[in-house]
Amino acid sequence: MSEVVHTPRVFSGIQPSGNLTLGNYLGALKRFAQAQDNGISSIYCMVDLHAITVWQDPAKLANATRELCAGFIASGLDPARSILFNQSQVPEHTQMAWVFNCVARMGWMQRMTQFKDKAGKNAQNASLGLFAYPALMAADILTYHATHVPVGEDQKQHIELTRDIAIKFNNDYGVDFFPVTAPVIEGAATRVMSLRDGSKKMSKSDPSDMSRINLTDDADTIAKKIRKAKTDPEPLPEDIDGLEARPEARNLVNIYAALSDQSVAQVMAEMGGKPFSEFKPLLADLAVDKIAPISTEMSRLMQDPAEIDRILANGAERARAIAAPILKETYKIVGMVGA
Ligand code: AQP
């Protein structure tokens, strides 16, 4: 059988599971906007079906989905150039997910660290959806034959599972139909850590609001959170190697580098040796400079929720035009009558 060459296509998603954080911005949104500005047209999904794998209050979920869309646009994504939509408006995702539930193996799913982290000690009480989360994610990606998925470090294992599903499907059915997707994990902030604990990822669902910078925080709040960020008593080291055993210092330097579009080495050349009492105000000014305009633009966009709904509906229509034929072909390969 001849090998199919898949045209490059970028897909990524974010859950509307709460306030967007600086981690989501630096690990995902900012890089999406850069890719778009480099001429790569892409598909971005607000994964509301993923969000309900843990409890979401319905009214808050709808609001969070619109706010996430506002966050994409305020971060520089243009709904005319990129496709922006919410997952539940494109039923092909769940239809494909069922096929992948039948391809993925229990043992693969049981190895997923995100399930273990999120289910915690009470795994028996976690939803079946939380366990199946990565198969739906594989469906999100492969229903578009996406070849590249920009994500933060935490999603690497899920992309590897997506590759395993594509390879097993292709082998089982003797086809070369699904691409073997590559994760794109690059930049200084692929893993932004909590401001309260340098060993934990900054996360929307962390119970402590002081652990993260939200894209909706105002300038004073951003500055306060950075001022109070946990650090050790030593000044910044003179070079990168000195950051090795100092997770909180390294995190703040990484954030500075990512926000200022510099390498960590460049930041250390400028900031090395400075005490936190000097470095933190500089970081706070930079963060306010970059994040406050996003927050302002998000609130402006949120004043017209009907316009956001139109953008999502239009994106869903364009997404379906790509997804439907790929699902149909998948059903044909699997042997479904009527496909
Ligand atoms: N701390 C982070 N550093 C870098 N990238 C991050 N991402 C998330 N946190 C960081 C990236 O943001 C994208 C969207 O993630 P998601 O919302 O779908 O789910 P998540 O990774 O589980 O993010 P959160 O904030 O931790 O959400 P909750 O708390 O709801 O689980 C992904 O590309 C992710 O890598």
What's the pTM value of the predicted model, to 2 decimals? 0.93
What strands, in cross-sheet order, belong to the sheet with 182-184?
A: 83-86, 42-46, 10-14, 148-150, 182-184
| Protein residue with least CA distance to atom 34, ligand 1 | 152
Q: 69 and 309 in contact (C-beta within 8 Å)?
A: no
Please name the residue ranges forming H helices in 5-153.
22-24, 30-37, 48-51, 58-74, 92-103, 106-110, 113-119, 128-142
Would the pLDDT of 1 be above 60?
Answer: no
17 CB within 6 A, ligand 1: yes
> What is the per-residue pLDDT across 207-249, written as a single tens digit (0 to 9) for each?
999 999 999 999 999 999 999 999 988 999 998 888 888 999 9
Average pLDDT over residues 82-97: 98
Q: What is the CA radius of gyration of the chain?
A: 21
User: What 8-state DSSP symbol labels residue 26?
Assistant: I
For residue 155, give the ligand 1 atom closest to its CA: 35
Look at residue 6 in the predicted model and tell me its pLDDT. 80
How is residue 29 written in tokens?
């949104």
| Protein residue with least CA distance to atom 8, ligand 1 | 24
- Measured CA to CA, the distance from residue 248 to residue 252 in angstroms comes to 6
9 CB within 6 A, ligand 1: no
192 CB within 6 A, ligand 1: yes
27 CB within 6 A, ligand 1: yes
Find tokens 């979401």 and name the residue: 56
Q: Is 156 a catalytic residue?
A: no
User: Going from the N-terminus, what domains does the chain have, and what CATH number goes with each?
Assistant: 9-190+304-334 (3.40.50.620), 209-299 (1.10.240.10)
Supply φ then ψ for residue 320, to 5 degrees. -60, -35
At residue 47's C-alpha, the angle toward residues 25 and 52, to 5°, is: 115
